[in-house]
Structure 1
Amino acid sequence: MDKFVEFLKNNTAVVAVAAGIVLFIAMNGITSCVAKGNGGDADSPAIEQKSEQASQKKKTSDSKTELTERQRSAIKDYNQATKQTVEQIEKSKWAASDGSGSLTIKDGVITETYGDADGSAKKTKKKVQTFAITAVDSLTADQTGALSWEVFSVVDAEGNDHIMTLTRVDPAALTGEGNDTYFELKCDMFHNENGYSNNRSAESAKINGIDDKNFKQAIDGRTKEFKRSVTEYLLANHSTTTELTWDGTVIENFAESTRTLTFSIENATNAAEDSLPSILVIYHTDTHEFEEVDVQ
């Protein structure tokens, strides 16, 4: 973190980036978000009012996920680069850095889940809204490629414009230590004003094949230990992993007392045409320990 702060202090290009964002906002005429609501009819009979409220609640829920004509038109006009960026955003598992919530984006629908205190009770709330990208600008901090930005002008369901910023961070270029390139996403539409990051996606990565009886037999049923070891490795080396898939093979080395399993890795930065990176998980049958190695 100290290296990261020092990096920002020593790179005046970041100031230029900030100025570019301000100019981008001015050119696209960004306005403030205005929330509107409808009151209920206090004079209606209790039964009718309850029925109307239920109907209104359903309509409100549907309207939160229904794109407007302007949004549909904007999405229809996405070029290939914008489509790829949206795909990366949708494939990511977004979480607040302080653990206060999570975010998913799919088909133009933003869903935020976060905790909210009601007196002594804590509740889980959701904020659902729609958006579409109307303009894109790419900004690069410096020649190292450690930091770069994509700035979007987006439109909400009310027709108001907002700025959404996707920050690309390359830890290897920044500190010399290897790990996945990860992203940070911020927008004034979000409930969490500090935005979200996908750099801990591996904590909840889906593991395909883990329920296979042959897999369980290969690791002597030590599924919990396997998950813990693999998750630690992924967070240190492939932190944006969203999915692991076992290829179904087990290589046993009796002399070394090991069984080796191969897993392909999928994350938000994998393009559709890319070959997926892989890791080997080596189970030591004598010590019951796991070891992970990247496939070169």
Structure 2
Amino acid sequence: MERRLAVHVLASGSRGNAAVVEDAATGAGVLVDCGICKRDFFARCEEAGFDPARLAAVLVTHEHTDHTKGLGVVMRGLAKLGVEPTVYADSAVRAASKEIAALEGTCDMRELRAGDALSLAGMQAHVFRTSHDAASSCGFRFEAEGGDVVGFMTDTGVVTGEAHEALRGARLLALESNHDERMLWDGPYPYPVKRRVASDQGHLSNAQAAEELKALLSDALEQVTALHVSQNNNTYRLPGEALAEVVERAGHSARVQVARQDGLASMR
């Protein structure tokens, strides 16, 4: 297998999310969500060694503002560079998002549906449904020629069979590990919000992420990054420990890291 793909998590957390999946052989890439400001977007692309002028597309997982609020300013910044990536979003997401609606007529916008296989930036992006309290939400399996695979899933309350199958065999895995269950229930959120986070339409806990990683361990897997870590109901240490324990108990060699709200986390 040729190691062609890279994942650059530019930011991950409740205040803003964005990631670039890059075909390192060509330098072309796809942006997954954009809930960060233009300054941070360009600065972290530079830190990652990724040229944003090589973006071919933007994929939107769902309409929540921590995934969309930076779209407008970043797209305008890219346009000044002569770059106009196609934006892919589910029609229900487009209808529910003011940020995406504001882009209508200013860029090429196309439908994104579960089950789609999109040819983007030299990769195949396979779309699968996730379980979240949004108008529609999805994750992605990216495949490159030669068999390299990235699995990317955030903002889901459970791992569906469809999602699990889509993530199998990934070399690089970006997986939500949002909250520690004890911290959530003992924490400051109102009870209805706690129920929402812990529900099947909420977010994966550290324990759920660890259980899924255990089921996904394979000879292909080399690196795992925990996504969307809650600043109120988790620490950056806990998901790293939970996922690392799975790897260590299995005698596996995969490396584990935790994506942060205010810094870059890359896998190559």
Where relative contact order (Cα < 8 A, 6+ residues apart) is larger, the structure is: 2
Larger Rg: 1
What range describes the TM-score normalised by the shorter chain of this pair?
under 0.3
- Structure showing the higher strand proportion among its residues: 1
Q: TM-score, normalised by structure 2?
A: 0.25
